[in-house]
Amino acid sequence: MIGEHETNVRGTNIHWLEAGSGDEPFLLIHGFGSSTAKWLDVLPLLGAERRAIALDLPGFGASDAPAGPYSPAWLAGAVLAFCDEIGVARAIWTGNSLGGLIAIHAAAAEPERVAALIGVDAALPTESAGRPNARVLVSFVAPALPVVGELIYRRYVRRPPEVLVRESLERNCARPERISETTWAALVADARGRVGRPAHARAVVRANRQMMWALSARREQTWRVLEAVRVPTLFIWGARDRLISVDAGEQAVRRLPGSELVVIDDCGHNPQMECPDEFAAAAIAFARKVSARADR
């Protein structure tokens, strides 16, 4: 059973979901332009093992959109404040795409708060970052442009929500037909809710711009943040991710000794949504390993 909540964190209402019980929960952080909808299928699976919490980041989903830079470090601070408010001292930070980069920043800055780190197709620079493909250009670069980015985004979200979701799944998934009806309905509702929310439009554009900087002009700074991580780390990657290719995960484990990489065959950018059983199995096995080490 999935519980739904809203918690006020320093004047910002944060929407979140949870399943299961126990200490050191999985803390599930979605990616850019996303929400808790992309964790719906794995929440019950992870919750059967231990408590699992998924939140809508500030500026996304059903959470408020306060003023702020929306950099990965700022968002990591917002998630830490959320954890303080709900009484979670330590968690297994599990982030997809931009959420993975946010989790990396938290692990580097506040390691005592991060029991372990799981980066899921994390937003990290790829070897081919200097040659972005058309999907990346259309999806991320154009909306990150100063001034016009917000206009592009506002016009984009006025399109039929079913069309927006279908295009997103075709871009992100190896096999979009595998997406469950529950997740499809939640994604459509999320897309429909983006219209007429100027504060959220500004937040999305700022978050996108900061993410693009982290993957390009600030790529070496991004790698230095990763190299500062000193907590148990697992990367889970879809073998057919066309947005952030698996070579980013391979480079990550080379740069972070002791980290692990699990590649899920025939899977795209959101393994937790497209291949929930395989994703949950990898995450749970890693969490058990981390707990066993801590008990020694």
Task: Report the pLDDT averaged over residues 46-72.
Answer: 98
Report whether 264 contacts 238 (CB < 8 A): yes
Confidence at 129, pLDDT banded by 50, 70, 90: very low
Q: Which of 75-84, 122-131, 166-175, 274-283 has the lowest mean pLDDT?
A: 122-131
For the structural domain made of 3-295, what CATH number should be given?
3.40.50.1820
**Coil, strand or helix: which one is 266?**
coil
Is the pLDDT at 21 greater than 90? The verdict is yes
Is the pLDDT at 83 greater than 60? The verdict is yes
- 33-55 pLDDT tens trace: 899 999 999 999 999 999 999 99
* Residues ≥6 apart with Cβ < 8 Å to 203: 58, 59, 60, 65, 68, 70
Confidence at 196, pLDDT banded by 50, 70, 90: confident
Is the pLDDT at 144 greater than 80? The verdict is no
Confidence at 145, pLDDT banded by 50, 70, 90: low
Residue whose structure tokens are 């005592």: 112
Sorted by where each begins, the domain ranges of the chain are 3-295
Is the pLDDT at 128 greater than 80? The verdict is no
Task: Report the pLDDT averaged over residues 262-283.
Answer: 98
